Structures are given as C-alpha cells and as structure tokens.
Chains A and B, each alone.
Chain A
C-alpha cells in the first residue's frame, strides 16, 4: 500500500505534475470543507424528521423538484444553445447587439423576477385585470388563465434568467469549433440545420452539460422564487425543517441527500461521454463561415433572440421601471453607493480567486488525469447546489473554528485576543462566494479545456516545456475567452448573491443585493427597483468586456487579420 503510494508520487514527480496535484487536492479539500461541515451537522440525530417527511410532503416535493429541474434543464438548453448558435453562425440585423443582450438576464435575481411575474400575471395583476376589463369578466370563474403560482410558472421564471449559463458556455464552444468538421459535414450533404444537430451540438456537449448543470444547481438551491410562487421544492422543506421545526440536523440531512443526487446526475453525464473526445484535431483555423439569412429567416432569428431577453429582462424590468425612476433621487443615497462599492470589490475579488482556483483544478485534472483529483473536484463543486444559507453556515463552521483556535492560542501565548479574524470580516464573504461559485469557474474552464486538443500539450512537452510552461505559454493565450466567461459568470453571480451575504456580512455592511432585499422584504419593491437596476447595469460592464473577449478570442484570430 505504502509502496504503491510512493510509486504514484514518484510517477507524478517525474512527470512534473506533483505540484499541480498537491495544489489541486488542497483547493478541493478547502472548498469541500463547508460541505463536510454540513454533513457533520447531518450526523446528529434529527429525531422524527424523516418519518414525518416521508409520510407527508417529501415524495411530492421530490417530484416537484424533479419536474422543475426537467423543465428548467430543457428550456435553458434549447434557449441557450439555440441562441448561441444563431448569433455565432448567422448574419442578421442586430446580431452583434443580441450577442451581448442575451447575457443580460443573468443579472436579474430570481426573487425579483418572481415578484415581477406575480405582479403581472396573478389574478390581481395587470394582465388579468386588463383582460377582465376588456372582456367584462367578473371573476376567475368566467375565464381560465394559466396559474403563475405553479411549477410551470417557476420553470418560465427561472429558465429565462438562467439560460445565460448555457448561452455563455455554448457560445465559447461554438466560437472555438473547427470549421473543418462543419465543412466536412456540409460536403457530405448535411444541411446547416443538420450540421448543427449532428456535428456542432454533440461536439459542444461538455460545454452544454456544464451550462445546464450550473442552471440546475441554481434551480435546486433557489428559495426566493419558489417561496414567492408557492412551489414546494426540497429546498423549501430544508428551510421549514430547520426554522419551523428547529432541526438543523434534519435540514442538513435533506441537503446531503439532495447533493448525493446531484453528484450522481453529474457522474452519469460524465460517464456517458467518458470515452469521447471533443476537441478538433487540425491546426488549421479559418474564420467561421457565417451565413447571411434571408428576410424571413432573419426575422425569425431576431424573434428567437429577442424573446428570451424580453421574458427574462424587459418584462420584469417594466414592472420596476416606473417606480425606479419615480424614486430615483431617493434610491441614489450614499448608502446605495457604498453598497455598490462593496458589491464591486467583493465580486471582483471572488471572480479572480474563483477563476484562479478553477484553473488550477481543471488543469491538474488535464495534466494528471488523476481519478482522485477528479472525484475531489466533483465533490467540491456540488456545493453550488446547497441552499445558500445552509452553505453559509457550513462556511462559518470551519472558519470560526479556525478563528477561535487561533484566538485561544494567541491568548494563551501572547495574552492578546485576535477575535474572529476571518469570519468577523468581509473576507468571509469572498471565501463564501469562491466556495459557492467555484463550480461555475471550474465547470466553464474544464469544458474549455475539453475543447483543446491534448496534442498541443504533447507537442509542447516534446519541445521541452514543463507542465507549468505549457499552461502559461500554450493554454492561457487560447483560453482567454474561456477564463473571461468563467470570470464573468462568477462576477455577476457574486453581485447578486444574497443568502450567504445576508448571514455572513460584518456589521453595518450592505451589498447591492442585500440593499435590494432589505427593501424588497418590506414590500418596498419600488425602492428596491433602483438597486436591482444597478445590479444589472454594473453587471453589464463586464458583460460587454466579456463579449469582446469571446468574439475576438477565436484561436488563430490574430493570424487571420
């Protein structure tokens, strides 16, 4: 046993991979620590939590969660991949505008869009009231209208703010695709549509899987939208078990089982494409052949691209817009600017850290092909599916434990108290965001690596480059768009992160998201609108930058000009 371990280490060292393996394992271990803490809480007895849940709401709420996941999975896949394909492969009016507008709904927090849709579409809402006015209906019995407080409503509301995960990963993948493969397909008689189905889509599979996984994990951990819409998901039951029945262990156990399920889902998807390769094999890069669409097709393409933006952004914003401007002066108080500053700083720090760590993890997996690192990373990245507040407590336990031990030591040795060094400062927020969103950066970067031929590594190594040099000189230059995409997603997600921020922040400390929430929870959405808009506007700057990085980042783009 020991000798085989030594052998393994020796092999890694001779291949120049030891440092990468150790670094990756340490990162994965640290990122998994909060989950381990949650699992440990779950080890305590939860009394009669399970008999109660199983005999009452658990079966139906598991089913509801599955329905929601299925709906959001399919909708985000179709919307994200479809629009990414359109804006990458075809020329039609407004294409470059759509290309980045399609990212914008990402900045819309789920609880805000849920509120807006309820405001628009429930019985008391503007749409039904108008219909009643027009047709003279007296009550709900006179007509039928789809109920927004339903799984269907939840699918719409969530899908159209989550599809950008798929859109971003798919677009990066499409931009990077091999023209040769597409041309071969066309030469062999496939139509443009057929090529999309049978060549481009399968080749983009790792990217699509990464994007859909992110959207699904976000769906599972959501509490804001499902509470508004009265959808009884497992996460709702986690909170009820914890808060109304005072069983944190029970809540932790449901979380762990949910995680196990997510872990299983990811593993099945990975196993299904284990023996497949998705990178292209030629070194020839030519510009993507963009097809100009005729008037009818162009109109359809424009509608297809506009629809997600309307549903995920313009419609909900129209609810907030009036009041946002009516209360403009009030909204832009010093509090607001301070919160905006906090949000920007934290999101930048978290995005940089998450991208750096995600890169180490993804590259270590590529360089070592170690199953251990693979498993550790997969474990570390399912944390994203844990409801935010539960994960926040998981983050707090090891950090406060560290702080308290350090404090005890400093007290006994030096007679001074260091207090809660990490967990009592805003550093805890950067750590929490990084842990929570590592799945995003890792998933995006890993999918990007899968698009890069291993022959590149081989060639670099043959010419004497070390593993590290290969990363710096070969991969980093061509991975810039991927890293940018990963950074963008983490940045925007950190900007709108709410549950962990609320619980872990220091005294008198607000971010834009907590600012919006505090006002929103008072039913003062009118005041909150300004800050909600700001999340979007501030989120837009990196979206623009990112968009440039994606489109100019095609390998060989430099040489083609």
Chain B
C-alpha cells in the first residue's frame, strides 16, 4: 500500500468513524439498494425479504408520507436514494417533473408491465393497480350497479361518506371526472356529491365503511384493497363486521370503466447503486413479486397472467377506465382547486 492510499484510507476511516459516531452511516457499499418509500414499510416488507433472499442485495428503507421527492432533490448528487416508491400516479409524475428521476430502458420491465402502466420514456413504472370503488350497504342499498356520476343524484342526499376531497386518491378520481366531462360538469358533479354527504369528509377510507356499518351513511367511497384488509383483520375483528355490512360495487364497470390509480417506482437520477435499483425494479415486476402484491396486499397486479387473490376474485371482474394515467396526473391541480372552489371539505349543508 503506497503512502497516498494509506493516507486516504486513514482519512476514510476517520470519516467513517465520524459518521458512525453520529449513528447510522450512509449505506453505499456494494450489495445494497436504498429505497425511499411513500408506501408503508409493512406493505413492501415481504417483497423486500424475498428480493434479498433471491439476489443477496440488502434493502434499506426510509418511509415517509410527505417530502421524499424534495429530500432527494435537496440531497442532490450525493443522495443515497436508488429508487422511489409511490402510491399514486401524481407522485410518480411529480418526481419526474422535479428532475429527480432517470429513464430505465429494460426489456424485462417493458415486457412485464403493460404500456398503459408505464411512462413511454421510461421514467416511471406502475407496479400495482387499485380501483376506487363504492362500498354500499347490503341492508339499505338494493341496486347492484352504480356510476360515479350517479353519486351526485339527490336520491343519495345525506347518504354518502368519503374522506377529505384533498386526499390524493380523491383528487385523482375528480381529475378523471374532469377528463371525461370537462371542468364545468365536473364541478356540478362535485357540488352534487358534496350536497349528498352524510358528514364532513375526514378520516381514512376504512372509517367511511365504518360509517356505513354504523348507519351514518349508506354508501362509502374507497380503494378496493381495503375490503380485503378489513375482512382479514384479526387484530381488530370489529373491522370484519364493517366489511360484512357492505357490498363492493365497481362504478361505471358497464360503461366507461372504473377509475384506476397505480402504485409505482422511479429510478433516482443519482442512484449510487443503479444496477441494484434496476434489479429491484425488475424483481418487483416479476411474476413472483406480482403474486405477493396480489396475495398479501390484495391489489391488482399490473403484470398480465398473475392470478388475483381469492378474495379479490370473489368481488368479480370489471372494466377499468382506459383513460391515460398521465392525463389524470396533469389534471390533478385543477381537481384540487375544484375541491376548494366548491368548499367540498366543509361538508354537507355549508
């Protein structure tokens, strides 16, 4: 070892010591992949375990609900992030427009993921799809088909529960209404929906279903996988009763199709473990990973030919809205403004 490398090694050792003294050194060594995740670690844990078992690559995770895109941007070229996982199309395109992504050209990804669920230029890839569905009271709602448009019909006055209009899932749904009907009609629709609310829009998707269970409303709007999450909740068996009180309806399934959102992944621009990042992306699109998504999370795998979970199958098939996801992402801002404009979150009677 010559003196220069020795000195370098010495400095490096000192710095390593310094970083480890401030506990938690940056993981950049070979054989790792660094994940910034908007998805709960709980949901991706089984996937990462399987990934590490298959590849020997260790997965490090930071989970936060807000601000990860900004964190990567501020960290700049030294950002340890290899990939970013999101739960909504808006965050995927947001990451791209913030300039923190890089394109991936992988035959594996392009084969595994249908074109509708990925960016044509390879900046983002969808991994799972979820439908925004109607949970209707078994006891009080007779009909077995419904449309989003119909939710504004006065016959539902005081009968609908929904979470905050400014939640990403609802903003995306409203954006799809703008795409289909134009801003003006979408606004009328949103005003009608607001007038039909049973209570102020707040709480989680599951809390709305609880509302149907307890009788505060007849209809709740929520993501599809929550049905399974409630049905299989052994920790809080009361949720099984909530699920038991409702039937799951796919709105517009007979017509223009059910509103779909995706969870997805982006390769970070300065990914220090780029190869490992791409390996993870490819793994998540593999049949094995897509099966875990389907079985454990009860989401719809984007990959063709992967079986849905038995529960998901029991809700039946449906026609998804063919509207381009980029379109929904583009109309998000308008949709969010509409929510403010009609004072949606003030609730009924305001």
Binding site for B on A (CB under 8 A): 52-53, 56-57, 60, 118, 122-124, 129, 139-140, 147, 149-150, 227-230, 232, 236, 239-240, 242-246, 248, 323, 327, 345, 389, 392-393, 396-397, 400-401, 403-404, 407, 414-427, 499, 502-509, 518-519, 521-524, 526-527
Contacts and interface: CB of A to CB of B under 8 A. Distances in A.
Contact of B168 (A122, A243, A505, A522): A243
Interface residues of B, number: 70
A502 B65 contact: yes
A422 B25 CA distance: 10
Interface in B19-47: 19, 22-28, 34, 40-42
Contacts of B164: 227, 230
A507 B40 contact: no
B346 A522 contact: no
A105 to B, nearest CB: 23
B66 A240 contact: no
A393 B24 contact: no
Contact of A414 (B8, B34, B61, B97): B8
Contact of B19 (A56, A244, A425, A509): A425
B54 interface: no
Contacts of A243: 66, 168
A404 B76 contact: yes
B215 interface: yes
Nearest to A501: B64
B171 interface: yes
Contacts of B203: 118, 228, 230
B211 A123 contact: yes
A403 B19 CA distance: 12
B199 A503 contact: no
B214 A124 contact: yes
A149 B199 contact: yes
A421 B18 contact: yes
B75 A425 contact: no
Contacts of A396: 70-71, 74-75
B166 A240 contact: yes
A244 B77 contact: no
B216 A232 contact: no
Given A227-B202, A507-B27, A404 B77 contact: yes
B202 A425 contact: no
A425 B22 contact: yes
Contacts of B67: 389, 392-393, 503
Given A393-B74, A420-B78, A244 B336 contact: yes
A523 B60 contact: no
Contacts of A147: 199-200
A393 B11 CA distance: 30
A230 B75 contact: no
Contacts of A227: 164, 202
Listed residue (A140, A246, A397, A418) with the most chain B CB atoms within 10 angstroms of its CB: A246
Interface in B174-208: 199-204, 206-207
A124 B216 contact: yes
Given A56-B343, A149-B202, A124 B213 contact: yes
B203 to A, nearest CB: 7
B314 interface: no
A392 B66 CA distance: 11
A53 B339 CA distance: 11
B19 A421 contact: yes
A229 B163 CA distance: 11
B254 interface: no
B103 interface: no
A149 B203 CA distance: 10
A419 B235 CA distance: 43
A244 B168 contact: yes
20 contacts: A147-B200, A149-B347, A230-B164, A244-B336, A246-B90, A246-B94, A389-B66, A393-B70, A396-B71, A420-B26, A424-B26, A425-B23, A426-B23, A502-B64, A503-B67, A507-B34, A521-B65, A523-B206, A523-B236, A524-B236
Contact of B63 (A123, A418, A423, A518): A518
A66 to B, nearest CB: 17
B214 A123 contact: yes
B71 A327 contact: no
B74 A507 contact: no
Contact of A416 (B8, B26, B68): B8
B62 A507 contact: yes
B118 interface: no
B211 A419 contact: no
Given A244-B166, A425-B23, A230 B200 contact: yes
Nearest to B60: A507
Interface in B98-129: none
A332 B94 CA distance: 38
B264 interface: no
Contacts of B80: 419-420, 424, 507
B55 to A, nearest CB: 18
Nearest to A418: B15
Interface in B71-96: 71, 74-80, 90, 94
B123 to A, nearest CB: 16
Interface centre among A240, A244, A420, A509 (most CB of B within 10 A): A244
B11 A404 contact: no
B333 A245 contact: yes
A323 B236 contact: yes
Contact of A400 (B76, B206, B236): B76
B153 interface: no
Given A389-B66, A425-B24, A507-B27, 10 more contacts: A230-B345, A232-B345, A393-B71, A400-B78, A420-B75, A424-B80, A505-B62, A507-B24, A508-B61, A521-B65
A524 B78 contact: no
Contacts of B216: 123-124, 140
A149 B19 CA distance: 46
A56 B340 CA distance: 6
A426 B23 CA distance: 6
B343 A57 contact: yes
Contacts of B347: 149, 230
A230 B40 contact: no
A421 B216 CA distance: 53
A81 to B, nearest CB: 32
B235 A230 contact: no
B202 A423 contact: no
Nearest to A232: B345
A397 B74 contact: yes
A425 to B, nearest CB: 4
B130 interface: no
Contacts of B337: 52, 56, 245
A149 B200 contact: yes
B303 interface: no
B213 A425 contact: no
B341 interface: yes
A31 to B, nearest CB: 19
Contacts of B345: 230, 232
Between A240, A393, A417, A499, the greatest number of chain B beta carbons within 10 A of the residue's beta carbon is seen for A240
B12 interface: yes
A503 B64 contact: yes
Interface string B208-245: 00110111100000000000010000011001000000
Given A323-B236, A400-B74, A503 B97 contact: no
A240 B207 CA distance: 21
Interface string B144-157: 00000000000000
B269 interface: no
A339 B276 CA distance: 28
